[in-house]
Chains A and B, each alone.
Chain A
Amino acid sequence: MSKKPTVGPALHKVIMVGSGGVGKSALTLQFMYDEFVEDYEPTKADSYRKKVVLDGEEVQIDILDTAGQEDYAAIRDNYFRSGEGFLCVFSITDDESFQATQEFREQILRVKNDESIPFLLVGNKCDLSDKRKVPLNECQTRAQQWQVPYVETSAKTRENVDKVFFDLMREIRSRKTEDSKATSGRAKDRCKKRRLKCTLL
């Protein structure tokens, strides 16, 4: 206790992406501080860090909350690059935000150059189901197509908020252990393997 271990707890870097106003900041703040803010204040870029216990192991999560509105998409390249996992958020009450996830996905894949990067498709504002614009099966179809999990959340009611962050961290973690195995061992064609695993999901 008195001596700080030289190797700190594992650190997982998560990036929040998605159109403006879908609730990226709301999800982050709910996860971080258990609070929900009604007012909408567009984000530029905010960084958060929190210690959590993931399956009995103490880990740290870094969350980069990004702007939905960006004049030039290339500006995002840098932080996509730094991310280890992505929560791609849209609002189920806003079809355009759902369509925009396609672009985000493509840019991330291009920057990360990795088909199997830890990634969750998140349909937020599920508490507003009466204003739903994006049918559930469409969301599920897209997630299947991408071979990523789809989760609906509400930053307002906290439904599934912890789940999306923890699920993503788990993916990041298993991805890391695999990588370390890969670097120490042989398997170089991890992309194929990953793909295989994802289909099983």
Chain B
Amino acid sequence: MLTTLANIKHILQKELFNGSGERVLSVVTVTKTFKKKKACYLCIVTTPPPVPVVTVCIVKQSEQREGEYKKKRTWQLEEIKWVDGRNEQFETHEFDIQVEKTYKWYALNLHERQNFLAVLYKQIQKYVRAQRAEFRNVPIAWLNDKSPEKLAAGRNAEQKNIQDTDDEEEAQEFTALTDKEATELGKLFSECDFAVKDAEQLIEKLSKELHDLDGANIQSVLASEKQVFALMEHIDKAIAEADSFEKRLDSYEEILGHVKETMEKIGGKNAMIEIANNNNIKLMKELNKVISQLDLPHIHQQALDEPDLKTVGGRKAAIAAAQSLQQAMNSDIDPTLLRLEAVQDQRKRFEKWKAKFSGIVSRFMNNLFIHLGNEMGDNTTMSTELVLPNHLSVHRELTPYTELMHWTKAMDRKTYDGLTRVYTTSLSKIYERDIRNFFSLAKLQISEKLRTSREDLDTSASSKKSAISAAPYGTLGVNREQWGPGVENADRERFDSVLEKVLAELEPVALQEQMFCINFFQMDVISPTSKNTQTTLEVLEKSTDSASLLTSPTSASGGGDASGFPQKKIDRQINEEVRKLMIALFGCLEPELVSFIQSFERIDSFYSLYVLVRLTQHVMSAQDTHSFLSMTFASALVQVKRNFDRFMQQQLLSIKEAKVPKRSKCGILPYVENFEYFAQTSEGIFRKSDRRTDMEKWYLQLVNSIFESISVHAQEHPKTPSQVVRMENYHHMYSLLAQLKVPGLDAMKKEAKMRYTDALKVYVIQYFGRPLEKLNLFFEGVQQKVAQGVKETEISYQMAFSKQELRKVISQYPAREVKKGLENLYKKVEKHLCEEENLLQVVWHAMQEEFIAQYNFLEERIQKCYAGAMITLEFNIQDILNFFSDIARSH
């Protein structure tokens, strides 16, 4: 056990503490109570003399490497508050140490524990001055007496006992000797070789040497006294020297204090000078700025006084001068500086120049506009080609003055507005004339050919005539003979192509003018102010107001700065203004266009279909939907659509109000017949158009209305049975719709077919009736009896249905009579049905089948109920077929 202890101590000393020169005084191998952890070592360690510091530390063996140890924690002895042995029994393993907290330890080895506690106690007694740790539950003997450990150590180290005189620790361990010590000792021992045998002699020798050494020591002390005195003297001198030096330093400091004060004063003055200087420079700059900005060079003054606007050079100079004036009047000068009299004087001078120049420009432009207007008005070359002349020459002529207009807009709004008015009145006259000529030529081109192709197109006369007796051309509900005069398809197509030409001609002219105006009158820039003149030099009465006007655009009123508005709003405002101008220029365009369209719609309603399609194309293809022309077209389109709807509405009404034909056969109703022409015409127009859906909606309404009206009108004819009217008219509708192939009408087509077959069936049954009526009645009676339970074979025993009775009935239908009946029926059907629809064969076919079916039924009944009686009808199937053949032959 001791060896273990000694081993651990030795190992730790060697592996861990030798490096730092520390020495291990005691080690106890412990685990923490309650924790099954790897054991660690609690060591008491001291640093080497002369100032030994004793500490307690935990050492752990590295987990990775066997022989490596690490110091984990270290406490000074003063940190230990108390130590608790828990029990005074030797066999106690636990002990607690209170440091910053309580550590509960479990010593693996009881001897180690005892030794550790004893050494710890002693070290604390020795080195801790103040509050020493309290030891509880530790046997007092361990703390005072020599511990068994110690005794054992004493026994073990007899050899070293001699040295072990004062320091117990020295003895209780084998101190690793330094090399020097080892050699010294070696030397000593070699000198005292004998000592091994004679300790007495050795002690004596050692005591003697010690004596000698003491003596030598005292002698040297005595010899050094004189030198000490000399040293003291030196020190005194040095002190005196230091005092005088200090005094000098104080005086220096005083001087420096004065200097500092003065320096501070000078610094303040300097700053003031700099500020003044800066201000002067700024003022200078500001004045320079004001003067340079407000300076209008002499050449410019001259150019403004007597501008020559006719020549290129003169214009250039005038524009440069005007712009320089504008710039000067919009100088960036601090509002407060504006109050300077010089600035205001200069402003007044500027105003004068501006007013004078503006007047000159105004007069000049005014004359130019009027002159150009007259010039254009004079050259009236009436062309026979359908073209709308453009006025690029005017634009070209005016373009050089664009900058002057822009200047006027900024600097003299009233003049600008006035000039704009003059321009529009001059030009609108020209455009009005052009447009009127253009449209009358277009009208002429269409109607000239109308006249040649139609005998009776004296419009006024014919319209009067039609107003009295005839329905408008193409009216569905009215017989074609009663239509007023119309036009041929070729005329319509010519109208359409002229209309296209008209629209195509209008577009570039209007667009050019619009572009020119936007540029020339600078309409794409919104003026930042509502004042007549844009200037920054005016001193405003309410200075706050001026500030807000100039600096914060959002709060500006009226036509204030635009930058605060969203782009959309600005665009709208620009559009609005451009449109206003265009309306002033092209005021007559919309009424002319509408009247052009209407004059033809009056002749033939189908024109409105063409216009609808054409105009829609142009409106849809327009890129700028807000432009004047797009709006004009769109508004014309609205009217055209209204006309179109009205035309369709009239068609609907005419169907409802149609009269049943007075002829003896009803035949095809007028609207059914006319629908073919109507549908083919409108399909020709709408087939590839975007407007198809508009038409299809009306188709559906019209066809629905036609179907309804067929059923109503079928009841109204005095001679033709309603089923015939239905049959023939639905058949006709079916055929029309099948040929038309309008996808939206597919359901209506099927409906027509259904109604036709229904009507055919009903007609055949109703009119074919029962030519063998009495036979039918007889066998209906038979059927009743059968139903009551009489056997079919016993029917003939019933009184009413005896063979005799049957023969009597049969005899009423001799072949001759039957044939006559069939012939009459055929004639009747022939009378009912109209030639156009060609349904006679269809109907007759159905009737033949019906008759054979009835015959077969009767024969079958006779065979069943009167079997063996040798009763037959007086005609057989062959007779019937012969009748049919005869009827066929006789027509």
Residues of A within 8 A of B (CB): 1-4, 13, 32-33, 35, 44-50, 62, 64, 66-67, 71-72, 74-75, 77-82, 111
Please, how many angstroms separate the alpha-carbon atoms of A80 and B888 in the complex?
A: 8
Is A82 a contact of B841 with CB atoms below 8 Å?
Answer: yes
Is B888 a contact of A78 with CB atoms below 8 Å?
Answer: yes
Stretch at the interface among B4-12, B427-435, B844-852: B844-852
Closest chain A residue, CB of each to CB of B489: A1
Is A111 a contact of B846 with CB atoms below 8 Å?
Answer: no
Is A46 a contact of B889 with CB atoms below 8 Å?
Answer: no
Residue among A32, A67, A71, A74 facing the most chain B CB atoms (10 A cut-off)? A74
Q: Which residues of A contact B848 (CB under 8 A)?
A: 75, 78
Apart from A47-B841, A75-B884, list 16 A-B contacts with CB within 8 A. A2-B483, A3-B481, A13-B838, A33-B738, A44-B849, A62-B838, A71-B852, A72-B852, A72-B877, A72-B881, A74-B882, A74-B884, A74-B885, A78-B848, A78-B887, A79-B841
Q: In whole Å, how far is B190's beta carbon from the nearest beta carbon of chain A?
A: 136
Instruction: Say yes or no for B691: interface residue by CB 8 A criterion.
Output: no
Q: In whole Å, how far is A140's beta carbon from the nearest beta carbon of chain B?
A: 31
Contact residues, B113-166 vs A (CB, 8 A): none
Is B888 a contact of A47 with CB atoms below 8 Å?
Answer: no
Q: List 24 A-B contacts (CB under 8 A).
A: A2-B485, A32-B739, A33-B738, A33-B739, A33-B741, A35-B738, A44-B842, A44-B845, A46-B842, A49-B837, A66-B845, A74-B881, A74-B882, A75-B849, A75-B881, A75-B884, A78-B845, A78-B888, A78-B891, A79-B845, A81-B891, A82-B841, A82-B891, A111-B889
Is B735 a contact of A49 with CB atoms below 8 Å?
Answer: yes
Q: Which residues of B contact A77 (CB under 8 A)?
A: 884-885, 888-889
Instruction: Say yes or no for B692: interface residue by CB 8 A criterion.
Output: no
Q: In whole Å, how far is B852's beta carbon from the nearest beta carbon of chain A?
A: 7
State which of A4, A45, A74 has its C-beta within 8 Å of the C-beta of B846: A45
User: How would residues 816 to 860 of chain B score, 1 for a CB under 8 Å from any chain A CB and 0 otherwise?
Assistant: 000000000000000000001111111011101100100000000
Please, how many angstroms separate the alpha-carbon atoms of A49 and B838 in the complex?
A: 8
Is B842 a contact of A49 with CB atoms below 8 Å?
Answer: no
Q: Which residues of B contact A13 (CB under 8 A)?
A: 838
Instruction: Say yes or no for B480: interface residue by CB 8 A criterion.
Output: yes
State which of B480, B842, B877 has its C-beta within 8 Å of the C-beta of A45: B842
Contact residues, B482-519 vs A (CB, 8 A): 483, 485-486, 488
Q: Which residues of A contact B844 (CB under 8 A)?
A: 78-79
Q: In whole Å, how far is B487's beta carbon from the nearest beta carbon of chain A?
A: 8
Q: Which residues of B contact A62 (CB under 8 A)?
A: 838
Q: In whole Å, how far is A72's beta carbon from the nearest beta carbon of chain B?
A: 5
Q: In whole Å, how far is B681's beta carbon from the nearest beta carbon of chain A?
A: 13
Q: In whole Å, how far is B490's beta carbon from the nearest beta carbon of chain A?
A: 10
Q: List 3 A-B pairs, minimum CB-CB distance, nearest first.
A: A74-B881, A77-B888, A78-B888
If over half of B's interface residues share one DSSP class (helix, strand or loop), that class is named, otherwise mixed; here it is: helix
Q: Which residues of A contact B739 (CB under 8 A)?
A: 32-33, 50
How many interface residues does B have (CB within 8 Å)? Answer: 34
Is A45 a contact of B838 with CB atoms below 8 Å?
Answer: no
User: How would residues 710 to 721 of chain B score, 1 for a CB under 8 Å from any chain A CB and 0 otherwise?
Assistant: 000000000000
Q: Which residues of B contact A49 (CB under 8 A)?
A: 735, 836-838
Closest chain A residue, CB of each to CB of B843: A45
Please, how many angstroms separate the alpha-carbon atoms of A151 and B473 in the complex?
A: 45
Q: In whole Å, how far is B42's beta carbon from the nearest beta carbon of chain A?
A: 107
Is A78 a contact of B884 with CB atoms below 8 Å?
Answer: yes
Q: Which residues of A contact B852 (CB under 8 A)?
A: 71-72, 75
Please, how many angstroms separate the alpha-carbon atoms of A50 and B836 in the complex?
A: 11
Is B738 a contact of A32 with CB atoms below 8 Å?
Answer: yes
Contact residues, B682-737 vs A (CB, 8 A): 731, 735
Please, how many angstroms separate the alpha-carbon atoms of A2 and B475 in the complex?
A: 13
Residue among B480, B485, B841 facing the most chain A CB atoms (10 A cut-off)? B841
User: How would residues 458 to 486 of chain B score, 1 for a CB under 8 Å from any chain A CB and 0 otherwise?
Assistant: 00000000000000010000001101011
Closest chain A residue, CB of each to CB of B486: A2
Is B486 a contact of A75 with CB atoms below 8 Å?
Answer: no
Q: In whole Å, how far is B419's beta carbon from the nearest beta carbon of chain A?
A: 57
Please, how many angstroms separate the alpha-carbon atoms of A45 and B838 in the complex?
A: 11
User: How would residues 658 to 673 of chain B score, 1 for a CB under 8 Å from any chain A CB and 0 otherwise?
Assistant: 0000000000000000
Is B881 a contact of A47 with CB atoms below 8 Å?
Answer: no
Please, how many angstroms separate the alpha-carbon atoms of A62 and B839 in the complex?
A: 10
Q: In whole Å, how far is A161's beta carbon from the nearest beta carbon of chain B?
A: 16
Q: In whole Å, how far is B825's beta carbon from the nearest beta carbon of chain A?
A: 13
Q: Which residues of B contact A48 (CB under 8 A)?
A: 735
Q: Which residues of A contact B741 (CB under 8 A)?
A: 33
Q: Which residues of A contact B889 (CB under 8 A)?
A: 77, 81, 111
Q: In whole Å, how far is A172's beta carbon from the nearest beta carbon of chain B?
A: 15
Q: In whole Å, how far is B449's beta carbon from the nearest beta carbon of chain A?
A: 14
Q: In whole Å, how far is B405's beta carbon from the nearest beta carbon of chain A?
A: 58
Q: Which residues of B contact A3 (CB under 8 A)?
A: 481
Closest chain A residue, CB of each to CB of B480: A4
Please, how many angstroms separate the alpha-carbon atoms of A47 and B891 in the complex?
A: 19
State which of A1, A50, A74, A78 has its C-beta within 8 Å of the C-beta of B841: A78
Please, how many angstroms separate the alpha-carbon atoms of A32 and B740 in the complex?
A: 11
State which of B488, B738, B837, B884 has its C-beta within 8 Å of the C-beta of A47: B837
Q: In whole Å, how far is B228's beta carbon from the nearest beta carbon of chain A?
A: 143
Q: In whole Å, how far is A21's beta carbon from the nearest beta carbon of chain B?
A: 19
Q: Which residues of A contact B840 (CB under 8 A)?
A: 82
Please, how many angstroms separate the alpha-carbon atoms of A64 and B888 in the complex?
A: 16
Closest chain A residue, CB of each to CB of B851: A75
Is B838 a contact of A75 with CB atoms below 8 Å?
Answer: no
Please, how many angstroms separate the alpha-carbon atoms of A72 and B845 in the complex?
A: 11
Is A1 a contact of B486 with CB atoms below 8 Å?
Answer: yes
Q: Which residues of A contact B837 (CB under 8 A)?
A: 47, 49
Q: Which residues of B contact A46 (CB under 8 A)?
A: 842
